Amino acid sequence: MNFQLIGVNHKSAPVEVRERLALPDSRLADACKRLTEQPGVEEGMILSTCNRVEVLARTVNGTADLRGFIRQFFKLDPGELDSYFYEYREQDMVRHVFRVTSSLDSMVVGEPQILGQVKEAYAVARTAGTVNSQLDSLLTRAFAVAKRVRTETAVGSSAVSVASVAVELAKKIFGSLNGKHVYLVGAGKMSELAARHLLAHGAASIFVANRTYDRAVQLARKFSGQAILFEQLYETCDRADIVITSTGAPFAIFRREHGEAFLARRRNRPMFFIDIAVPRDVDPEVNKLDGIFVYDIDDLQQAVSAHVADRKKEAERAEAIVANEVERFQARLQTLEVVPTIVSLQDHLETIRQAEIDRVRGRLGELSPDQELAVDALTKGIINKIMHTPITTLKSAAREPEATTVIEVVRRLFNLQDKKAEDKSNSASNAGAKT
Amino acid sequence: MPLTWLRVAVGFYTVGLLYALLALTRRSELLNRIALPAMVLGMVFQFVSLTEAVLLSDHPTLTSVHNSESLLALLIMVFFMIVYLFYRTTSPGIVIFPIVFLLTFVSATGEQPFLFVTPGVKKSWLFAHIALIFTGYAALFLSFGASLLYLVQERSLKSKKSNGILSRLPALETIDEIGYRSLLLGFPFMTLGLIAGTVVAQSTYGRVNLLDPKILLSVLMWAVYLIMLYTRWNAGWRGRRAAYLATFAFVAAVVAWAANYFSGIHRFVSS
């Protein structure tokens, strides 16, 4: 395989280090080309996101100086930043790449952006022509693994912030948020964030009521919403489907009778109260009304931590999938390495057989079609009998770590030098023949 | 032959029944994927069975009990499929599939088919009566299923815990819409069906005995249906109150159906 990877991520390096190594998209293609010009590097790709910078390569014998490339490319002093890098080789690198694309190595495990980022980096390298053979299969497989992880586990499916839980709940009540109205009572940071999330998911408009009217106007302008005098709160509140309250009031401002009045005016269409104030703005009695759903800050937080726990459990399942895929990928690659050898071995022996038949042809004289067939069968039979053991050995060796050694021995014994095999296989003998 | 096809249909509907039973306890991806195609196949066979039954006989054999139950099941499934096409949800199946299974099962294993004695009845009126009423029934059943789901989803949202199957139910407002729309759609069918029934009864018996249990119960069911629509439309009743009404209407419908067995005029008499 001869895969190599070097990189930094949010765990290994602080942001000051990561930003020194970050590559703007415009320089990515050039960097990939420079990478493949490095001695010993056959294929290369660079992934640069805000949380990680990684250099991926397939090399001639697994010992290319990627660290040197980084030092040179980013003009670092010798030894500088050295302690922040991690390196992976062979199946460790395969596992790492699978984990990264499946978002198991992300800061927020399961976040969906990383897959797109890897895909972009891959597209750049492909266009630049620096990824074309085994590294290509590695990345293609990694995308398939990421998809499998996403469909077979729930690692990316649950909301893990208070604002996103609020959106999720709103969707459970209203289906789509399109055309729904949001009412902000009190103007805090958190309610602003929740409102922003709801709007991003399609909510139609925002009303803002605040004790100080100016602040309400300010916030309403931010969302191109409508500011409302606090005194008119109870008359106007039933216009909203979702109410986010965060006032500093020392007592509940929404009580059962208010809820009943809202429902009557809304003809019982459901309402969702998100109460992030402490002490609470909404009397828990309101939640007992049919059609009104009240979630306070504790309820939301509980949902968040339940989801985080779920994600952890799901991440374990995802790791198992990755481990299984690493094994499968390795087995496939090794079979790929063996196949050209088997083919050229068969070709080689067939050529010999044909040549020998042609040579003695004249001495055999006129042959009947039956005799012709018999000669053919005889010579083929001998070859197949002899070939049987070497081929089965090659095939079973494909699944063992010593595959390359076995391939090399077979090639040397039979003096095989097939062009196709040279491309596909990168055994040491081939590399030697090339230089 | 019609009976054979019907039995095949029952076989497919069994998958739906399993889906409904298992969906309550755990999620099974495999069953999820095969339930819908199985139900569609069931519908196809049921349709074939019904068509053949009609073609094979001279009278509209829809009037035999086992075919009418089968027709009702088919119509319910048609409604379910319409909902599925619009909302992409199979959740109502949790309630609908067992009903469909039961109806089809009963009609497939029914013994001697009872025949409606129809001396001098205008056949097309009778046919219209049955088809319309049953479409109304089907809509009512679906609405009943939706209001049960609404209750479940509402409870789950209020309890603030999300667990397994409940997290896969459609949104509260979607369920509400399904229930309301099928109610709205079913009402004209039910009304026209009852009118057609009156015409048939008039032409058969001349005068209709209003105290006959079948007629009384049918009118009661129609009234409950009307009340449901009115409260829903006027006061926006949904949730618990709507579910109580829907349950009541469902029970009324079942009782009105059962009345066939002891009504003086609307009766499937053994031939």
Q: Distances in Å between the alpha carbon of A220 and those of A49, A177, A214, A224? A: 35, 19, 10, 6
Q: Are A307 and A317 in contact (CB under 8 A)?
A: no
| Model pLDDT, residue A77 | 81
Confidence of residue A209 (pLDDT cuts 50, 70, 90): very high
Contact of B237 with chain A, judged by CB distance below 8 Å, is answered with: yes
- Among A223-232, B132-141, B153-162, B245-254, top mean pLDDT goes to A223-232
Q: What is the pLDDT of residue B174?
A: 85
Residues 156-185 of B with CB under 8 A from A: 157-158, 160, 162, 170-174
Distance from CA of A274 to the nearest CA of B (A): 13
Q: Which residues pair with A243 in a beta bridge?
A: A183, A273
User: Predicted confidence band at A295 (pLDDT cuts at 50, 70, 90)?
Assistant: very high
- Within 10 A of B257 (CB to CB), how many other CB atoms are there? 18
For residue A219, what are its two tokens? 């916030």
Mean pLDDT of chain A: 85
Its ipTM equals: 0.71
| Chain B residues touching A303 at Cβ < 8 A | 160, 162
Q: Are strands B268-269 and B115-116 parallel, antiparallel or unpaired?
A: antiparallel
Mean pLDDT of A193-206: 88
How far is residue B96's CA from residue B74's CA, in Å, rounded to a whole number? 11
A:137-176 residues touching chain B, CB 8 A cutoff: 169, 171-176
> Best residue in A172, A242, A274 to probe B by mutation, most B CBs within 10 Å?
A172
Place of tokens 């010798």: A78
Residue B264's CB is within 10 A of a number of other CB atoms, namely 12
Q: Which of B32, B89, B162, B240 to mutate to test the interface with A (most CBs of A within 10 A)?
A: B162
**Is residue A227 scored above 90 in pLDDT?**
yes
Angle subtended by helix axes B239-258 and B123-159, to nearest 10:
150
Contact B172 A172 (CB under 8 A): yes
- pLDDT band at residue B164 using 50, 70 and 90 as cut-offs: low
**Could you tell me if B1 and B52 are in contact, meaning their C-beta atoms sit under 8 angstroms apart?**
yes
- Model confidence at A421, pLDDT cuts 50, 70, 90, reads very low
pLDDT at A383 over 50: yes
3-state secondary structure of B31: helix
CB B150 within 8 A of CB B179: yes
What does the pLDDT average to over A1-17? 85
Q: What residue of A is the nearest CA neighbor of B29?
A: A152
Judging by beta carbons within 10 Å of its beta carbon (0-12, 13-18, 19+), is residue A412 exposed, middle or buried? exposed
